[in-house]
Amino acid sequence: MGWLRQRERGSRIAWQFMIWTALSVGRPAARALLYPVCVYYLIFSTQARRAIRPYLIRALGHPISWRDLYRQYHCFASTLLDRVYLLTGQGNRFTIDIRGLDVLKERLARGQGCLLLGSHLGSFEIVRAIGLTQGDVEIKVLMHEQHTPMIRDLFRDLNPEVAAAVIPTGSPNAMLRVKECLDRGGVVGLLADRLVKQDQATPCTFFGELARFPAGTMWLASILKVPVILFFGLYRGGNRYEVHFESFAEEITIDRRHRDQEIRLWTQRYADRLEHYCRLATDNWFNFYDFWEEQR
């Protein structure tokens, strides 16, 4: 998979300096540093720059410029910077427009655990920051952490509780921990737009061309038999975020006799909604690799 082959960029010292600036000097100074940082990556991250062109061309519908590419880098860097504040309990710095939260609240009020299905579009941390129902709700995140160990460790140092909330994919007891959280009426979030293993893919139409999405996401949801809710935390510039929740399914049911076909149908529904939100905030999709590479 293209994203797994990419090495983590940047040095620990540089990241530590950025975090220190953010917390000690302030957000305006830290944001000012993003401009030269983004220019540097725009110039020297040749592979990533070349890889995101197909997405931007499809999403914007016209030939892209250096400004389009820069905007993508700057949006990504901005959400990473803001994560520093969100992890240190400073979510009041941001103006957050929340849409559709009642969809989730209603199910949690019934004592139902919910699967939150997201993507690498915008910020997941902003979704956690709003507290979901503004109450005491257990939140776990099922995710692949091994790809960016340096950033992972730095952010864990900012808020050690984050580590306890993460369930690493592939760990021996991962599914047991997911099930236990849901049985307690909690929420488990996962990002469903990155493929980890080629033999666990299902083809879907995405921006008019076939792309491979993880097949295991919908199969997992069908096993868990809980409501599935989509979420997207879109960064809108400055200190503004827009968080969307929408019902995806009260319960995903898959007939084993037609497993591949039904998984593809459910995954296509997810891909369609992801495409919709990508068009709303094109510069928010942070997959800096050629998403369609496996098709060629």
pLDDT tens column, 118-146:
999 999 888 777 765 455 788 888 887 65
**How do residues 166-214 score in pLDDT, each as one tens digit?**
888 877 888 999 999 999 999 999 999 988 776 678 999 999 999 999 9
Instruction: Indicate whether 1 pLDDT > 50.
Output: no
Question: What pLDDT sits at residue 148?
Answer: 62
Mean pLDDT score, 136-162? 76
Q: How sure is the predictor about 158, in pLDDT bands with cuts at 50, 70 and 90?
A: confident
Q: Which two tokens stand for residue 196?
A: 């980890």
Report helix, strand or coil for 284.
helix
Question: What pLDDT sits at residue 181?
Answer: 93
d(CA 69, CA 273): 23
d(CA 15, CA 149): 13
**How do residues 70-106 score in pLDDT, each as one tens digit?**
999 999 999 999 999 998 889 889 999 999 999 998 9
What is the pTM (predicted TM-score) of this model?
A: 0.90
How high does pLDDT run on average in the chain? 87
Q: How sure is the predictor about 5, in pLDDT bands with cuts at 50, 70 and 90?
A: very low
Instruction: Indicate whether 149 pLDDT > 90.
Output: no
Q: DSSP state, 143? A: E
Instruction: Indicate whether 289 pLDDT > 50.
Output: yes
d(CA 66, CA 133): 41
Q: Tell me whether strands 209-214 and 240-249 are parallel, antiparallel or unpaired.
A: unpaired
Question: What pLDDT sits at residue 4?
Answer: 41
Question: What pLDDT sits at residue 131?
Answer: 62
DSSP assignment of 207-264, as one string?
Answer: TTEEEEEESHHHHHHHHHT--EEEEEEEE-STTEEEEEEEEEES-----GGGHHHHHH
Q: Which two tokens stand for residue 100?
A: 């559709």
Question: What pLDDT sits at residue 74?
Answer: 96
Strand partners, 212: 203
Sheet strand arrangement including 114-118: 95-99, 240-249, 228-235, 114-118, 187-191, 139-143, 166-168
Instruction: Indicate whether 46 pLDDT > 70.
Output: yes
